[in-house]
Amino acid sequence: MDRRDFLRTTMLAGAAMTLAPRATSAADARVDVLLDEPIARIDPNVYGHFVEHLGGVVYDGIWVGEGSRIPNTGGIRQAIVDHMRHLPKGVIRWPGGCFADSYDWRDGIGPREARPRRTNFWTPEMAARPDGPWKYDPNHFGTNEFVRFVRLCGGEPYLAANLRSLPARDFYQWVEYANSPAGSTTLAEMRAKGGSAEPLRVRFWGVGNESWGCGGNLTADEYAVEYRKFTAWLPTYGEPLSFIGSGPNGNDLSWTRRFFTTLTAKGEGALNSIWGWALHHYTWNASRGATTDWNAGKGDALVYTTDEWYEILAQAAFIETLITGHWAVMGEIDRRHRVKIVVDEWGTWHKPGTEIHPSHHLGQQSTIRDALVAALTLDTFHRHADKVAMANIAQLVNCLQSLFLTDGERFLLTPTYHVFALYAPHAGGEAVRTQLGAPRIGYDRVNDRGSVAGLAGSASVRDRTVTLTLVNPHATDATDATITLRGGRAASARAVTIAAGEIHAHNTFDRPAVVAPSAESAVPVGPGASFTHRLPPASVTRLTVALG
């Protein structure tokens, strides 16, 4: 154990002694599930993922190579595929992110040994040095390999096109490479040489990424013109094409308004060219303030106070403001709301220092705090199922709020993975309105006071079964929640909980099950429409209720 690990272990031990949960309940809470007030179907694509050529996401994460002693299918790490099959079959986005707007898709096709090596400016060996040294991408993992990985997982591919440094012609030729019939074009023949004679049938295409910044530093009006150019005409080859526009920097409502205004300058028919509008939301301790240091506001992934615990949860909840705000602005032009919201990057972003391996740029550990962020965010998507059609947590493995951590042959599931698995029954169900009541929890920010909701959650219905997920954010106290089904009665109920008893708890290669779901247990419901269930502190609970 090196000095940093020793200090961290010592601090966590002290935190465990001072933050042990009390036996008393913080407060009573109420949950009303309004069975007769449906919102919309929860699209499994809100359980989507993000794969970018950053650090250890692709190389050492997903791609290990055919000759590796690590179990693999055609070079793809088998453990990731096996565990992804237990999750909702959502989309997976690739190759970026900022990497997408410096990527030439032609570099990743054809015989692997003949592919060029390119500088990857988005994965420096030492992030603190802006001049490098830089990593080099061998392009062993390209379009064919990515789509094969997605299909092995049971999902759908979502490709992000390079708008900053490639012309529109390269975009429609990438569509041709992916979707043209077998043997029909030269590009289809090139695809076959890469191992995929049949069309890849890619439906979802992102037109650039963060075009206000790394994707071109454009204004909203400039981007709208480029978007029209890129989507003016593309062959479909019998496959529906769904284009996703590059949305604003955070809560910049003016970017959304200007884009839709300029997009429709030649008529509202242009709205038919856009299926989704992308929002990005990363969570960190915003009250630390902003400086020229891009890590300002980002705290340690493992060492934090209870105030920092609550600040992260409050920042995660801000995604609701982004969704409702941009949805309202979109509706000023798109009055029929044909265009849906796509949150294709979201998750926690902590400062460097807890990555599993030095080469895992933007890698970080994942604790029970990250699990609650995932649960709060997914519950928000459910409550706005009429608005949010897709979302992609950043990222799948070894980067930011990942579901998996790897280091060579070593592999583990993070608390975030367990939340995705716990919430899986929601996917495809009908979201119904849910009213939650509990005292807000106050905490100290750097220069003021903050508060976070004392209870969060969502509900969905399918086949006479209600799936209700609840988050108790209180760091030390349990909550007794009285659950009432308005418009129905519970015949039986069962519960599964993710809780750790300590707010810094996380999984390691040596102790991989510190944070994991409990065994499912029966919940007494009684003869009425209401029943009570205790939610442990710092926990995520799924209740499965059979309707009588």
pLDDT in tens, 226-284: 999 999 989 889 889 999 999 999 999 999 999 999 999 999 999 999 999 999 999 99
- Confidence band of 529 (pLDDT split at 50, 70, 90): confident
Q: What is the pLDDT of residue 173?
A: 97
pLDDT in tens, 423-433: 999 999 999 99
- Confidence band of 309 (pLDDT split at 50, 70, 90): very high
Helix (H, G, I), strand (E, B) or coil at 498: strand
Query: Is residue 2 pLDDT above 50, yes or no?
Result: no
Task: Please give the average per-residue pLDDT across 90-105, as a whole number.
Answer: 96
Query: Is residue 24 pLDDT above 90, yes or no?
Result: no
Q: What is the pLDDT of residue 28?
A: 87
For residue 411, the tally of other CB atoms under 10 A from its CB is: 20
CA dihedral 290, 351, 345, 133 (to 10 degrees): 100
Query: Is residue 19 pLDDT above 50, yes or no?
Result: no
- Neighbour-count burial of 501, counting CB atoms closer than 10 A to its CB (0-12 exposed, 13-18 middle, 19+ buried): middle
Query: Is residue 197 pLDDT above 70, yes or no?
Result: yes
Cα 145 to the center of its chain, rounded Å = 22
Average pLDDT, the chain: 92
Rounded to whole angstroms, the Cα distance separating 461 from 35 reads 8
What topology does CATH give the domain 3-38+433-547? Immunoglobulin-like (2.60.40)
Q: What is the pLDDT of residue 262?
A: 98
Q: What is the pLDDT of residue 11?
A: 36
Query: Is residue 335 pLDDT above 90, yes or no?
Result: yes
The label of the residue with tokens 């926690």 reads 348
Rounded to whole angstroms, the Cα distance separating 263 from 271 reads 8
In degrees, rounded to 5, the angle at the alpha carbon of residue 225 between the alpha carbons of residues 224 and 229 is 115
Spatial CB neighbours of 337, under 8 Å, sequence gap ≥ 6 = 327, 330, 331, 387
Q: Positive or negative CA dihedral for 486, 490, 496, 499?
A: positive
Q: What is the pLDDT of residue 289?
A: 59
Domain ranges for the chain: 3-38+433-547, 43-272+296-427
Query: Is residue 365 pLDDT above 90, yes or no?
Result: yes
- Confidence band of 334 (pLDDT split at 50, 70, 90): very high
Spatial CB neighbours of 405, under 8 Å, sequence gap ≥ 6 = 356, 363, 365, 366, 397, 398, 411, 412, 414, 509
Rounded to whole angstroms, the Cα distance separating 253 from 322 reads 9
Query: Is residue 501 pLDDT above 80, yes or no?
Result: yes
| Residues classed as catalytic | 210, 345
Yes or no: say if 201 and 224 are a contact pair by the CB < 8 Å rule: no
Is the backbone of residue 526 left (phi > 0), alpha (psi -120 to 50) or beta? left
Rg (CA), the chain: 23
The widest CA-to-CA distance across the chain, in whole angstroms, is 70
pLDDT in tens, 152-187: 999 999 999 999 999 999 999 999 999 999 999 999
Joined tokens for residue 200: 């890849």
Query: Is residue 126 pLDDT above 60, yes or no?
Result: no
Does the 43-272+296-427 domain belong in CATH 3.20.20.80?
yes
Q: What is the pLDDT of residue 295?
A: 66
- Say which amino acid occupies 507: N
- Confidence band of 294 (pLDDT split at 50, 70, 90): low
Prediction pTM value? 0.93
For residue 187, the tally of other CB atoms under 10 A from its CB is: 18
- Confidence band of 330 (pLDDT split at 50, 70, 90): very high
Q: What is the pLDDT of residue 446?
A: 86
pLDDT in tens, 379-404: 999 999 999 999 999 999 999 999 99
Q: Given strand 490-499, what is the order of strands in its sheet? A: 521-523, 490-499, 539-547, 465-472, 456-462, 430-437, 25-41, 478-486, 530-535
